[in-house]
C-alpha cells in the first residue's frame, strides 16, 4: 500500500492538441520532481515531439515515461498521419478527431492494467470526458486538468445563466452578472459551445464525478475567481504557471540561445521590441498578414514577427521579397517556429501581440510583458477581458467576432488599427508605465507561487496527499 509520494504513479492523458499537451508535459515535470512516477499517454507521432520531455527527465533524474498508443484516426475517416489537432486539414474533421481520441479508451485501459506499478490516479485535460469512465473502470480517481483560467470558468457559468434567460440581440454588449469586475460580452465573441443553451450539462456531470480539479494558474492572480470556484467544486487547486518548472533545476530546458532572433534582441534597447506571434491553430489570410506587416512597420517600433505554418505561403514570401519588406523595416521576420519563452523573457521585449491563448497569456505574465490582445476563438476573448479589464496589463486590438478554429478571419483588421494599438501598448507615459509596473509585479507573484512554500507548490502537495489518502482509504493501492 502506497504511503509515500515516491510510491505513487500518476497517469497523465492530454487531448492530442499542443494547447493541452504542452501544459500537461510541464505539469509532469513538476509532479515527478516531487517523487512520484509519471506516465504520459501519447501517440507515435506525438511521442517524437515529446522527446525533450524524456531528455529532461534523464538530465534531472526524474521518473517520467511515455506510453505511445496507436491513434485510431483512420477508423473515423481522418487522413493518415493526423494524430493531433494541428495536423487536421480543416475544421470539418474536428468531430472525427474527437471521436478518434475517445476510441483510445480501450487501448489505454489495457495498457494501464499492464503497467507496473499500477496507476494511482488519472490526470486528464478537461476536454476528455470519457476519461472519467476510464478511471472508474480502473478503480482509481480522476483529476481534471483545466487548460483555462478560473476567470474563464466563472464567465462561462455566468454566460450560461444569461443564455437560459435569453440573450438579447447582438447589438450591445451584455454585462455578466455577479462578478466583481465589469465584464461584457457580445454574443459574436462567444465560443460556439458556450453560445448554445444547455451545452454544459454533460461537462458539469463529469466534473462532479472527478476527485479534484487542477488549474494552470495561481491564486494570487485570480483571487476572487478561485475562491468562488472553491465554493462549488471540491479539491479545486491552482498549480501553475506550470511552464515555470523549466526555470528550475540543474539543467532546465534547451534555451535556444543560438536562435537568430535572440541574438538580434541583444542589440535592442530595453522594453523597445514588439513580439508578434499567433497560436498554432490560428489561420490568417494573406490579406491580414500583409496588414499586420504594414501595421508593425508603421508603428516605428522594432519587432519580431513570427509567421507560422500553414500561413507562411509562397504568396506571403513573394510579397515580402517584392516589397523588400525586411530590408526597409526595423524588425525581423521568423518563418515557422520561434523560441517564444526565451524571447518574451528577454529584457528588450516590451509588448506581445498575441492571440490570447491561455498558454501564451501565462507565458507573458511570467515574463512580465504587457499584451496587445487579438483574440480569435475558443476562450481567447475571455483571456483578453481578463488581461485588459482585470489584470490591466493589456490593450485591445478591437476584434469583436469569434472565428472558428482554423478558419480565416471574418473581418480584416487594418494596419492603421494595428499601429494605433501598438502605439498604446508601447506608450511611455503614465498609463503605459503603470501597465509595465503591474506586469512586473504579476511576474514576481507567479515565480513565488511555484517555488517551495508558494501557493501552487502547496497545492501540488495537497494533490499528492489526496491521492495517498484515497489509496489508503480504499485499501486498493496498486491493485485493480
- Closest to 356 in 3D by CA, of 340, 376, 338: 376
* Residue ranges in 103-187 assigned as alpha helix (H): 105-113, 131-138, 150-165
H-helix or E-strand containing 174?
strand 174-175
Q: Identify the structural domains of the chain with CATH numbers, from first to last.
A: 5-69+104-248+451-474 (3.40.50.2000), 260-444 (3.40.50.2000)
Tell me the CA distances in angstroms from 125 to 18, 78, 147, 162, one per residue in order.
12, 22, 7, 27
- For residues 423-429, average pLDDT: 92
Close Cβ partners of 291 (under 8 Å, ≥ 6 residues apart):
412, 413, 414, 415, 418
- For residues 403-421, average pLDDT: 78
- Closest to 38 in 3D by CA, of 60, 79, 8, 68: 8
pLDDT over 80 (residue 119): yes
More confident residue, 257 or 349: 349
pTM of this prediction?
A: 0.92
| Range 30-63 burial, b when 16+ CB lie within 10 A, else e | bbbbbebbbbbbbbeebbeebeebeebbeebebb
pLDDT at 197: 46
The Cα 194–Cα 372 span in angstroms is: 24
pLDDT at 315: 92
pLDDT over 90 (residue 236): yes
DSSP labels for 241-265?
-GGGGGGSSSS-S---TTSHHHHHH
- For residues 268-290, average pLDDT: 90
pLDDT over 80 (residue 272): yes
Q: What is the pLDDT of residues 88-115, one digit of tens each?
A: 887 788 899 999 999 999 999 999 999 9
pLDDT range class, residue 132, cuts 50, 70, 90: very high
- For residues 358-371, average pLDDT: 97
Close Cβ partners of 335 (under 8 Å, ≥ 6 residues apart):
307, 312, 317
pLDDT range class, residue 244, cuts 50, 70, 90: very high
Residue 118 DSSP symbol = P
For the chain, the residue count is 480
Q: What is the pLDDT of residues 304-337, one digit of tens each?
A: 999 987 788 889 999 999 999 999 999 999 998 8
Tell me the CA distances in angstroms from 287 to 81, 193, 282, 315, 402, one per residue in order.
30, 29, 15, 10, 18
Close Cβ partners of 470 (under 8 Å, ≥ 6 residues apart):
121, 141, 211
pLDDT over 50 (residue 195): no
pLDDT at 254: 43
pLDDT over 70 (residue 256): no
Amino acid at each position: 500500500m502506497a504511503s509515500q509520494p515516491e510510491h505513487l504513479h500518476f497517469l497523465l492523458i492530454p487531448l492530442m492538441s499542443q494547447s493541452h499537451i504542452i501544459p500537461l508535459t510541464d505539469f509532469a515535470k513538476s509532479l515527478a520532481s516531487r517523487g512520484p512516477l509519471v506516465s504520459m499517454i501519447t501517440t507515435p507521432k506525438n511521442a517524437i515531439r515529446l522527446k525533450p520531455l524524456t531528455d529532461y527527465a534523464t538530465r534531472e533524474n526524474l521518473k517520467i515515461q511515455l506510453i505511445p498508443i496507436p491513434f485510431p484516426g483512420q477508423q473515423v475517416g481522418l487522413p493518415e498521419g493526423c494524430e493531433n489537432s494541428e495536423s487536421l486539414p480543416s475544421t470539418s474533421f474536428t468531430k472525427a478527431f474527437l471521436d478518434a481520441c475517445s476510441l483510445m479508451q480501450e487501448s489505454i485501459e489495457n495498457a494501464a492494467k499492464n503497467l507496473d506499478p499500477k496507476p494511482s490516479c488519472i490526470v486528464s485535460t478537461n476536454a476528455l470526458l470519457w476519461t472519467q469512465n476510464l478511471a472508474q473502470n480502473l478503480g482509481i480517481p480522476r483529476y481534471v486538468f483545466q487548460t483555462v483560467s478560473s476567470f474563464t470558468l466563472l464567465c462561462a457559468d455566468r454566460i450560461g445563466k444569461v443564455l437560459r434567460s435569453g440573450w438579447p440581440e447582438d447589438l450591445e454588449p451584455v454585462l455578466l452578472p455577479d462578478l466583481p469586475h465589469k465584464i461584457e460580452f457580445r454574443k459574436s465573441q462567444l465560443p460556439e459551445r458556450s453560445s448554445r443553451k444547455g451545452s454544459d450539462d454533460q461537462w458539469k456531470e463529469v466534473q462532479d464525478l472527478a476527485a479534484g480539479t487542477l488549474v494552470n494558474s495561481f491564486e494570487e492572480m485570480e483571487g476572487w475567481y478561485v475562491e468562488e470556484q472553491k465554493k462549488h467544486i471540491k479539491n479545486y487547486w491552482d498549480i501553475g504557471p506550470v511552464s515555470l518548472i523549466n526555470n528550475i533545476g540543474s539543467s532546465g530546458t534547451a534555451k535556444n540561445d543560438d536562435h537568430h532572433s535572440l541574438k538580434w534582441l541583444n542589440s535592442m534597447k530595453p522594453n523597445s521590441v514588439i513580439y508578434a506571434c499567433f497560436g498554432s491553430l490560428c489561420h490568417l489570410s494573406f490579406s491580414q498578414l500583409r496588414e499586420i506587416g504594414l501595421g508593425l512597420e508603421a508603428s516605428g517600433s522594432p519587432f519580431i514577427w513570427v509567421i507560422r505554418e500553414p500561413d507562411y505561403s509562397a504568396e506571403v514570401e513573394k510579397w515580402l521579397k517584392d516589397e523588400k519588406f525586411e530590408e526597409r523595416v526595423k524588425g525581423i521576420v521568423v518563418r515557422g517556429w520561434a523560441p517564444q519563452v526565451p524571447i518574451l523573457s528577454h529584457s528588450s521585449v516590451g509588448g506581445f501581440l498575441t492571440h490570447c491563448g491561455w498558454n501564451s497569456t501565462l507565458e507573458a505574465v511570467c515574463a512580465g510583458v504587457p499584451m496587445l490582445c487579438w483574440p480569435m476563438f475558443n476562450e481567447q476573448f475571455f483571456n483578453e477581458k481578463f488581461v485588459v479589464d482585470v489584470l490591466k496589463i493589456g490593450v485591445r486590438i478591437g476584434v469583436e467576432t469569434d472565428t472558428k478554429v482554423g478558419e480565416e478571419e471574418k473581418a480584416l483588421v487594418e494596419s492603421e488599427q494595428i499601429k494605433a494599438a501598438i502605439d498604446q501598448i508601447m506608450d511611455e507615459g503614465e498609463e503605459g508605465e503603470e501597465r509595465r509596473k503591474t506586469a512586473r509585479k504579476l511576474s514576481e507573484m507567479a515565480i513565488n507561487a511555484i517555488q517551495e512554500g508558494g501557493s501552487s507548490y502547496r497545492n501540488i502537495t495537497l494533490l499528492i496527499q489526496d491521492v495517498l489518502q484515497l489509496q489508503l482509504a480504499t485499501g486498493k493501492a496498486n491493485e485493480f
